């Protein structure tokens, strides 16, 4: 968990600091990352994930479900302009076979 103190207030992030730091170090263009930057990156990531999950949940509610499924996340990534950059990472779900037609 990442924590930051400023002017007596303590703020924290739910993401593990070591994991976030390791992901940041994967970028060869970044030489070092201070604790304040690490905290801000962690909080920004939390806000991003929360936003994506909220939008995905709305798609599950439209289908009258309470459980968010992959197809809901894919719909959010495909239909909301804010998530256009995820279109290649989260492709729309594709049916493996056609459903049987009753005659």
Per-residue pLDDT, averaged over 6-34, amounts to 83
C-alpha–C-alpha distance, residues 41 and 13, integer Å? 10
Half-sphere exposure for 10 (CA within 13 Å, toward CB)? 3
CATH topology of domain 2-86: Histone, subunit A (1.10.20)
Q: State the average pLDDT for the chain.
A: 87
Give the model's pLDDT for residue 11.
73
Grade residue 95 by pLDDT with cuts at 50, 70 and 90: confident
Q: Domain spans of the chain?
A: 2-86
pTM: 0.75
Asked whether residue 18 carries a pLDDT value surpassing 70, the answer given is yes
C-alpha–C-alpha distance, residues 18 and 34, integer Å? 13
Higher pLDDT, 87 or 10: 87
């Amino acid at each position: 968990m990442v924590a930051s103190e400023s002017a007596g207030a303590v703020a924290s992030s739910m993401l593990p600091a070591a994991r976030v730091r390791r992901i940041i170090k994967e970028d060869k263009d970044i030489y070092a990352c201070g604790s304040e930057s690490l905290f801000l990156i962690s909080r920004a990531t939390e806000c991003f994930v929360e936003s994506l999950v909220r939008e995905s949940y709305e798609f599950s509610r439209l289908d009258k479900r309470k459980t968010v499924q992959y197809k809901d996340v894919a719909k959010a990534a495909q239909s909301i302009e804010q998530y256009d950059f995820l279109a290649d990472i989260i492709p729309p779900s594709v049916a493996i076979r056609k459903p049987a037609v009753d005659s």
